[in-house]
């Protein structure tokens, strides 16, 4: 059954969730913690729709493939088609703002990177992208470049993010994405993770918050 993006007011988007377009190393501190170069242009990759799962459901991952790392990110839901978009078009096309976990098979990713191979096996597996409900987006009420978000695991704060620290801000990022991939209604954009990523324990209790807009709990 297709993933149907939902809103905190109980509505659902008419279109099913499509592709998930992601950016790597969009926070300098995160790039440095993994000993990666800080990019000078967005590092883009895609997770398939089949990797998405509701965050409120139990997070199930293929643990037999090695460590699974959590990466907490602000997620933007696309409500209008964007192709080679102009900056002024972007805000009108965002339907909602939420949170997602970009789960990564870190051992698998490291082996693939060492061989110069693509990362899809580490990033696009079933269940690799738990996604929350979305807050309906109103650009007059919510500033994309001033969102704070957190992840707590078993009562311990693990990640604290502020979109003001993104290397490539939301509108700039979406403009760049739309030059390479047409963005359709139902697509989701992940905007990068701050420092503090680590292994996701089995049986852990997760609590995520978005700038006072909502809190959500999950279980691994």
Residue 96 lies in a domain: yes
pLDDT surpassing 80 at residue 33: no
Residue 77 lies in a domain: yes
Total number of domains constituting the chain: 1
72: nearest Cα among 136, 7, 161: 161
Question: How far is residue 114's CA from residue 56's CA, in Å, rounded to a whole number?
Answer: 35
Tell me the pLDDT tens digit for each residue of 46-57: 999 999 999 999
- Has residue 8 been placed in a domain? no
Summarize pLDDT for 126-138 with one digit per residue, the tens. Answer: 999 999 999 999 9
What is the per-residue pLDDT for 207? 98
Q: Pick the closest to residue 209 from 103, 98, 95 (CA basis).
A: 98
- Whether 197 maps to a domain, the answer reads yes
Tens of pLDDT, residue by residue over 157-191, are 999 999 999 999 999 999 999 999 999 999 999 99
- For residue 2, being part of any structural domain is answered with no
For residue 154, name the pLDDT band (cuts at 50, 70, 90).
very high
Q: Is residue 68 very low, low, confident or very high in pLDDT (cuts 50, 70, 90)?
A: very high
Work out the average pLDDT over 77-89: 97
Give the range of the structural domain holding residue 128, as residue numbers without chain letter.
20-219
Q: What is the mean pLDDT of the chain?
A: 95
Per-residue pLDDT, 1: 60
61: in domain = yes
pLDDT at 37: 82
pLDDT on residue 55: 95
Alpha helix stretches (DSSP H) within 86-152: 87-93, 106-114, 120-123
Cα-trace Rg, the chain: 16
**Position 90 pLDDT exceeds 80:** yes
Residue 213 lies in a domain: yes
**pTM of the full structure:** 0.96
Inform me whether the pLDDT recorded for 153 exceeds 80: yes
So what's the pLDDT on residue 181? 95
Specify if 6 maps to a domain.
no
State the number of CA atoms in the 13 A half-sphere of 211 facing the CB.
19
pLDDT surpasses 90 at 32: no
Indicate which CATH number applies to the domain containing 110. 3.90.850.10
């Amino acid at each position: 059954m297709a993933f149907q993006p939902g809103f905190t007011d109980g509505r659902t988007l008419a279109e099913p969730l499509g592709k998930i377009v992601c950016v790597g190393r969009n926070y300098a501190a995160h790039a440095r913690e993994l000993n990666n170069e800080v990019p000078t242009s967005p590092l883009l990759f895609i997770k398939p729709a089949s990797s998405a799962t509701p965050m409120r459901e139990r997070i199930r991952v293929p643990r037999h493939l090695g460590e699974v790392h959590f990466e907490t990110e602000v997620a933007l839901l696309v409500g209008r088609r964007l192709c080679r978009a102009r900056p002024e078009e972007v805000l009108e096309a965002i339907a909602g703002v939420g949170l997602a976990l970009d789960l990564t098979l870190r051992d698998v990713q490291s082996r693939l990177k060492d061989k110069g191979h693509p990362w899809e096996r580490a990033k696009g597996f079933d269940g690799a992208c738990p996604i929350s409900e979305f807050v309906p987006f109103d650009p007059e009420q919510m500033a994309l470049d001033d969102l704070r978000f957190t992840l707590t695991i078993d009562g311990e704060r693990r990640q604290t993010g502020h979109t003001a620290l993104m290397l490539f801000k939301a509108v700039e990022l979406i403009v760049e994405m739309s030059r390479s991939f047409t963005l359709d209604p139902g697509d989701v954009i992940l905007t990068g993770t701050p420092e503090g990523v680590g292994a996701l324990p089995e049986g852990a209790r997760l609590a995520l918050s978005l700038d006072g807009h909502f809190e959500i709990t999950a279980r691994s």
